[in-house]
Copies of this chain bind each other. A is one copy, B any other.
Amino acid sequence: MVAQQTADVIYLGSALSLRGTRMHFERNEEIFGEGEASEYLYRVVSGAVRTMRFTSDGRRQILGFHLPGDVFGVELGASHSLTAEALSSTEVVVVRRSLLEKAASEDPKAALSWLEYAARTLDEMRDHALILGRKGAGERVAAFLLSISRRLVHGQDFDLPMSRADIADYLGLTIETVSRSFTEMERQCAIDLPSSRHVVMRNPSTLALAAA
């Protein structure tokens, strides 16, 4: 089907698209590991992915969540600088890294599109550093919910693709603190939690205020 093929493309920046093929990963399956040769870049079709880095003693910092439509795993160096795992059963499009390199080395527009993607990623990481360095637990969780709900576009309720542990490791908190923040926001009528993964945005402005 044409529609199917249209979906199997990775758009990087505004002027670079690459045709790829489908792959599937199960929940918690590693897509690539830190230090591994980077053979492919990826786009999430369905499901979700976490990318992360570890301290020498095993503490985990999740650096990004990748939702349907998002591109991840793009490396300039020979090996991956992050580890990526599927949050749930996940469908991705993969494109050989060599195709990207070829396009970028032949066409400045392609290279600039790649750069566009890198710049956006960097900007997001800087915002995250601001959150990690200077915000309290409630502010972090509120900002997280706003960010995820915005990215999942739907109306005012959505399903979180990740566990409390994942959220905690993304926000530099513990599972318990994340859980308590959720409970507190429910008490303030900012959100509803009909189940632990399902969030209803009852009062986004309260949430925005809490995110400072």
Contacts and interface: CB of A to CB of B under 8 A. Distances in A.
Given A82-B126, A106-B108, A212 B57 contact: yes
Number of copies: 2
A60 B122 CA distance: 18
A172 B56 contact: no
Main secondary structure of the interface of A (DSSP, over half): helix
A119 B74 CA distance: 10
B55 A127 contact: no
A134 B60 contact: yes
Contacts of A212: 55-57
Interface of A: 53-57, 59-61, 63, 75-77, 81-82, 104-112, 114-116, 118-119, 121-123, 125-130, 132-135, 169-172, 212
16 contacts: A53-B130, A55-B134, A56-B212, A57-B212, A60-B134, A63-B126, A76-B115, A81-B123, A104-B108, A106-B108, A111-B115, A118-B118, A125-B129, A129-B132, A133-B171, A134-B172
